[in-house]
Structure 1
């Protein structure tokens, strides 16, 4: 999913740069910046690289939201509580199955 328009606007505001200032640094119009932020168009590769230099961020940070991209983090290192919060339903299912069969077998 393309998060570029949201990320561009968010990072630009965090750096306190106006659309006009950014446009002059990239040698494009303010309307081009506005279209990028609204998702109506996208910059070419050269302007993407210039944006990473201006904002001092990686291309991944500019294109993806690192806070929402948890796939690598989730399956990288997972402690007990992370596992339990992600797979609580498996633990409940196992406890239920053990309880069911122990009640079934103790009744015989």
Structure 2
């Protein structure tokens, strides 16, 4: 699921940057770059931010391989870190989800039904 190693290698090749050149820019060894591209280790957050700046990409594009042109509507989608994917904020709603979210409407409806049943029963 980790796309970082292949993304790093792809971005480095696209910019015609060698592992040595990238290592020099990041103040790390060439072996570190090689391990990152092989998936044997992962850089820390500060280095990831520097890599994103060097390649002029977002962290999402660098780590997850998301398309840079795609924009996520945050009102409809939320990022799930367990699956590394964006999921709908409000999934399909079933009856129990409706009751949990609109319990007050159900309580009001039951109150109105109860009130009118008492009113009509007294006639």
> Is the structural similarity TM-score above 0.5?
yes
Report which of the two has the higher share of strand: 2
With a CA cutoff of 8 Å and minimum separation of 6, indicate the structure with the bigger relative contact order.
Answer: 1
TM-score range, shorter chain: 0.5 to 0.7
Match of 1:104 in 2: none
1:39-58, Cα deviation, whole Å (9 max, x unpaired): 00000001000000100000
Larger Rg: 2
1:17 aligned counterpart, secondary structure: coil
Report which of the two has the higher share of helix: 1
Distance (whole Å) between structure 1 residues aligned to residue 15 and residue 60 of structure 2:
17
Match of 2:25 in 1: 25
1:13-62, Cα deviation, whole Å (9 max, x unpaired): 00111000000000000000000000000000010000001000000000
Paired residues, number: 71
Match of 2:15 in 1: 15
Any stretches of 5+ residues in structure 2 without a counterpart?
A: 68-83, 88-123
Match of 2:48 in 1: 48
Distance (whole Å) between structure 1 residues aligned to residue 86 and residue 58 of structure 2:
18
Match of 1:4 in 2: 4
Q: 1:28 to 1:66 in 2, by over 3 A?
A: same
Question: TM-score, with normalisation over the residues of structure 1?
Answer: 0.61
Question: TM-score, with normalisation over the residues of structure 2?
Answer: 0.54
